Structure 1
Amino acid sequence: MKIQDIDKDILSSFRKGCVIPAVPLALDEKRKFDEKHQKALIRYYIDAGVGGLAVGVHSTQFEIREHGMFEQVLSTVSAEIDSWASGRKILKVAGVCGKTEQAVREAGFAVSAGYHACLLSLAALKESSVEDLLSHCRQVAAVMPVIGFYLQASVGGMVLPYEFWREFATIPNVLGIKMAPFNRYRTFDVVRAVCDANKENEITLYTGNDDNIVPDLLTEYAVSSGNEVKKVRIKGGLLGHWCVWTRKAVELLDEIHALLDSGKDIPHELLTRGIQITDTNAAFFDTANNFAGCIPGLHEVLRRQGLFKGTWCLNLQEVLSPGQYDEITRIYKAYPHLNDDAFVSEHLSEWLK
């Protein structure tokens, strides 16, 4: 599958910049796949106005592969998107990981299940050379369009140098890059590499920096490349943070796009809201405990809204950290304007049918 095979409206939405939540996994109290609540979650995202969904990624729990759930989860979500979208076109992104044989196999399945692109994790190749990493990426990109993924080290990623991204950007069939190193220096490495490869008009940049969402989306990069200065923006977000309070995320991105199109000055309030979102993310992602509770933290928000029955994870060790429940309660009280509980409450019974 090639980029040109993607529906033109879906591709246009991705290029403009859209909200792409990293989809969590719904489990019941026996830690079995909860199809009813998984479908409710997908319906929520679609009705909230997302432009895409990423499944089989970190928020979906990489352990779905060990538990034989990878194909089931991806197939269920893909079918539910088709069923619920009612003519709306949603980009389907499949998380692909593992060494080359596994990654190519997962990409092949994703194509057969109706996915348009894969988010390619390199976490399993930490000991590989840059050239071996690039060879791996080329083999997956031969199967389907690839979104590159700079994953932060705290949750399994590694430092990927400018030289890697400079060559990665030249690989045919690269649709975009999700930058999530949680590090401004390394984020800039990617932007500069794409510009130096002359791919800034072909590779769309998305933030995965959940700690810096608003500044990432507001900033115009002016990169000296060759004999010119190239102006580049991060267009949208493919974020774990945006898998909760998603309606507000859609409204935020629409607001930012409208502001940038208008040419008006950035209001101070928007920057203040940005740091409030960062504080919120600290509670969800459990930064106080080096991200140990990041997945159950997201589940807890969905549980409070009624979209999930509990916070269970496939890994029995993944639970809310001490004090994390209270931190989530604190940010609920501190920033009521950031949640979309009223929107969820209005539609929950319909989504759970």
Structure 2
Amino acid sequence: MTEQVVDISGELLRRLRGTVLPAVLTPMDERGTVDLGVLRAYAAKLDAAPVGGFAVWAHTGRGLYLSAADRAHVLRTWRAATDKPLVVGAGVPRDLAPATASVEQAEAAVETMAVTAAELGADAVMVYPLHALAALPDGHARAVRLHERVARASGLPVLGFFLHGEAGGYEYPPALVRDLLALPGALGLKLATLDRAMACQDAIRTAQATDRLVVTGEDRMFGPSLMWGADTALVGIAAARAELTTAVLDAWRAADHTAFVRASARLDRFAEATFYSPIEGYVQRMHWAAVWEGLLPEAAAHDPFGPPLPQGERDRVVSCLEELAREGAA
């Protein structure tokens, strides 16, 4: 494995800053079989949207749950479908059983996944946080070293990932955010704090002191996170409703506050219909939205890795989409 020092050029930062990156879905049947034909069609449709790139192997696409072969097929399909940047998730695959793996095994798995992503055409990697590091006396230093190792091993810029604890994340304190973004290979920080407004604000304030990307993944605090200083977005909602997200970000960057308030209110209503307990159910809710949007067929719109959801939850998603569509046509 060839290691190299990664330094961030301005080109990738310029291409991504101020844009939306959908955390894309992976079309699957009820048994978890990936439909590559549907994926190609889905990728072509999303590539036509006004987005800056795509997040592949992210949580919305169940990247850590897929087999290594399926992950490779998925990333190759996206690389063939678009010239836009691909930010690819690198974490501990679920078949390694994170609960029983040692920290060293987990770190090695992240590094291996990042190297594979680079070989398959990724432009950057997003490192899933290792929850176990938060409890270690040297967890802070190990987290920094892990990001540095991933950048060196893969040769790619690295996006840090502040992920809320309910999803198995590590809630990076400001000091760790500062040290991660000081790495030569740091592209920026992606925030998914869920409902922790203070933690989100603190992390954004720290990240703003750098020239790296401040990436919001706050589907339920999207508008506020932009007002707090986030400059780019990587969100699950955009996997099915890209325009809801781009409208908010575009209005904010244009300082069109009337349009921003309207667009933010529309996105908030959809987020309320899709991001709620059980939070893991949001992936299936996004699949339902993608079916309604005509992005996926019914047969390939399943999340076998999430909790079972009652029909009423699908009705809630569809009702919201229909209401938003009526308003848009008025």
CA shift for structure 1 position 115: 1.0
In the superposition, the TM-score normalised over structure 2's length comes to 0.83
Cα pair 1:119 1:149 within 8 Å, conserved:
yes
Q: Does the CA contact (< 8 Å) of 2:273 and 2:316 recur in 1?
A: yes
Across the aligned residues of Structure 1 and Structure 2, the Cα RMSD in angstroms comes to: 2.5
Instruction: Report the identity percentage.
Output: 22
Residue by residue over 1:244-296, the C-alpha shift from the partner in whole angstroms, topping out at 9 and shown as x without a partner, is 1213433443332222xxxx6x22x63254233222112122x0x23131110
Measure the CA separation in 1 of the matches of 2:239 and 2:328.
12
- SS of the residue aligned with 2:254? helix
Instruction: Note if contact 2:47-2:81 (Cα within 8 Å) is conserved in structure 1.
Output: no
Match of 2:151 in 1: 141
Is 1:297 the counterpart of 2:285 in the alignment? yes
Q: Does the 8 Å CA contact 2:20/2:52 hold for their aligned counterparts?
A: yes
Of residues 326, 347, 350, the one that matches 2:315 is 326
Q: Does 1:93 align with 2:106?
A: no
Q: What secondary structure is seen at the aligned counterpart in 1 of 2:190?
A: strand
Q: Choose the corresponding residue for 1:131, options 126, 137, 141.
A: 141
SS of 2:39's equivalent? helix
Report if aligned partners of 1:130, 1:164 keep a CA contact under 8 Å in 2: yes
Amino acid at match of 2:90: V
**From 118, 127, 133, the counterpart of 1:111:** 118
The correspondence for 1:186, drawn from 199, 202, 205, is 199
Aligned position for 1:250: 246
SS of residue paired to 2:172: coil
Q: Do 1:28 and 1:309's aligned partners in 2 also have CA atoms closer than 8 Å? A: no
Distance 2:308 2:118 in 1: 33
Per the alignment, in what secondary structure is the counterpart of residue 69 of structure 1?
A: helix
Please name the residue that 2:175 is paired with.
163
Q: 1:307 aligns with which of 279, 295, 311?
A: 295
What letter corresponds to residue 38 of structure 1 in structure 2?
L
- 1:236 to partner: Cα distance: 1.7
Q: Is the 8 A contact 1:313 1:319 kept in 2?
A: no
User: Aligned equivalents of 1:293 and 1:335: distance in 2?
Assistant: 21
CA contact (8 A) 2:125 2:159 kept: yes
**1:321–1:205 distance in 2 versus 1, CA, 3 Å:** farther
Q: What is the one-letter code of the residue matched to 2:302? A: W
Q: Partners in 1 of 2:233 and 2:310 — Cα distance?
A: 27
CA contact (8 A) 2:19 2:232 kept: yes
**248 and 192 in structure 1: CA distance in 2 versus 1, 3 angstrom threshold:** closer
SS in structure 1 at match of 2:303: coil
Of the structure 1 ranges 292-301 and 70-79, higher mean CA displacement relative to structure 2 is found in 70-79
Deviation of 1:79 after TM superposition, in Å, equals 1.7
Question: 1:209 — aligned with what?
Answer: 218
C-alpha distance in structure 1 between counterparts of 2:326 and 2:142, whole Å: 47
Q: 2:271 aligns with which of 281, 284, 299?
A: 281
**Counterpart-to-counterpart distance in 1, 2:7 and 2:39:** 28
Residue 114 to residue 63, structure 1, CA distance change in 2 (3 Å): closer
Alpha-carbon distance in structure 1 between the residues aligned to 2:50 and 2:266: 22
Alignment match, 1:120: 127
Q: Quick one: which amino acid aligns to residue 178 of structure 2?
A: R
Secondary structure of residue in 2 paired with 1:323: helix
| Maintained 8 Å contact 2:213/2:231 | yes
Distance in 1, matches of 2:31 and 2:215, equals 36
Partner of 2:98: none
**Cα offset, 1:63, TM superposition:** 4.3
Look up the equivalent residue of 1:282 and give its one-letter code: E
1:241 aligns with 2:243: no
- Alignment length, in residue pairs? 304
Question: Equivalent residue of 1:122, what SS?
Answer: coil
The AA in structure 2 aligned to 1:32 is T
The Cα offsets for residues 83-126 of structure 1, whole Å up to 9 and x where unpaired, read as xxxxxxx1111100122111111111111111111111114535
Matched, 1:71 2:72: yes
Counterparts of 2:165 and 2:310 in 1: how far apart (Å)? 20
1-structure distance, mates of 2:168, 2:238: 20
Q: Return closer, same or farther for 1:39/1:3 CA change in 2, 3 Å cut-off.
A: farther
CA-to-partner distance for each residue in 1:130-159, whole Å, 9 max, x for gaps?
A: 222222122112232111111122322232
Q: TM-score, normalised by structure 1?
A: 0.78
Shift of 1:5: 6.1
Aligned to 1:13: 15
Provide the rounded CA distance (Å) in 1 between the counterparts of 2:283 and 2:46: 18
Conserved in 2, the CA contact under 8 Å of 1:312 and 1:319? no
Structure 1 gap segments, 5+ residues each? 83-89, 222-232, 341-353
